[in-house]
Amino acid sequence: MNTSDNIKAMVKEKYSEIAIQSKEINQSSCCGSGACSTEVYNIMSDDYDQLKGYHSDADLGLGCGLPTAFAGIQPGQTVVDLGCGAGNDCFVARNETGDTGRVIGIDFTPAMINRAQANAKTLGFENVEFIQGDIELMPLKEHVADVVVSNCVLNLVPNKQNVFNEIFRILKPGGHFSISDVVLEAPLPESIKNTAELYAGCVAGAILKDEYLNIIRSAGFTQIKIQQTKPIQIPLDILNQYLTEEEAKRYHTEKTAIVSITVYAEKPQTCCCGSNGNCSSAK
């Protein structure tokens, strides 16, 4: 079984490789992981081209939703993007916050931060900054963000409760998040769950949807709602690399559902709890 430190080291190594790849290469694999399919497989079927502020050089094709489109970002707000990659969602968010706002991207991988900073310099954005750090222990003070967004990242993190506790801590009272992530509607086969390559590929690290929502509740968030759901299909030639013939048959017979959700939640204006949640008003 992979330990937390092993998983983090593997994710950092894999996403350092992805940082220097093209979007086309990333789209031909499972979330850029390198488990390549003979058919083009892009986990994110949503199209960023329709969003104002989109810059193709910052899009590595690694998302599983459009959280910034659902986040309700207003001019002048401070937005934090978790797992910012090359800055794709940060630049869309910056279009919404305008010159008077602030956008902060955090990523675990120095190579991603370097690429994002280069993109921001090219675009001439002075109110978008990128910080290298672990989102389980964010290098930010409490109550700094009006909005938190993230796109297909928390499934990579070993301790998701820590991340949502940290989101609660950095959000201002009354702030909210919109996060796209991969979750399960039925358990995955153990042979997939224990595969490091598919963990980096946004699949093996996913947990059951109900468990995911309960983690959000336990962090203290309220007004939790799913804004979008869409199915994710893993190509057979990828699955066949990790499953026996019998496991593959069982996988398809049981129709294990892997889905992308975009989920919204709010930090209460006033709350009796700390960053570990358990507010009496939590739903």
Give the Cα separation of 86 and 112 in Å (integer). Answer: 6
Helix extents (H) in the chain: 4-19, 23-27, 67-70, 88-97, 110-123, 160-170, 190-193, 196-200, 209-218, 236-239, 245-254
pLDDT at 184: 86
Residue type, 7: I
pLDDT at 204: 61
By the 8 A CB rule, do 32 and 61 touch?
Answer: yes
Domain boundaries, the chain: 4-265
CA neighbor of 8 nearest in space, from 109, 84, 149, 137: 109
pLDDT, tens digit, 9 for 90 and up, residues 75-95: 999 999 999 999 999 999 999
Strand locations in 65-139 (E): 78-82, 102-107, 128-132
Tens-digit pLDDT profile for the chain (283 aa)?
Answer: 457 776 666 666 666 666 565 454 444 444 444 444 433 334 445 678 889 999 888 887 778 899 999 999 999 999 999 999 999 999 999 999 999 999 999 999 899 999 999 999 999 999 999 999 999 999 999 999 999 999 988 988 889 999 999 999 999 999 999 999 989 888 777 666 655 455 445 566 788 999 999 999 999 999 999 999 988 777 666 677 777 777 777 766 666 678 889 999 999 998 555 445 444 333 3
pLDDT at 82: 98
Give the Cα separation of 224 and 227 in Å (integer). Answer: 9
By the 8 A CB rule, do 232 and 260 touch?
Answer: yes
Which residues, at least 6 apart from 124, have a Cβ–Cβ distance to it below 8 Å? none
By the 8 A CB rule, do 143 and 118 touch?
Answer: no
Strand locations in 13-166 (E): 78-82, 102-107, 128-132, 145-151
By the 8 A CB rule, do 226 and 182 touch?
Answer: no
pLDDT, tens digit, 9 for 90 and up, residues 209-239: 999 999 999 999 999 999 999 887 776 666 7
CATH 3.40.50.150 fits 4-265, yes or no: yes
Give the Cα separation of 63 and 81 in Å (integer). Answer: 13
Percent above pLDDT 70 for the chain: 70
In degrees rounded to 5, what are phi and psi of residue 133? 180, 170
pTM, whole model, 2 decimals?
0.82
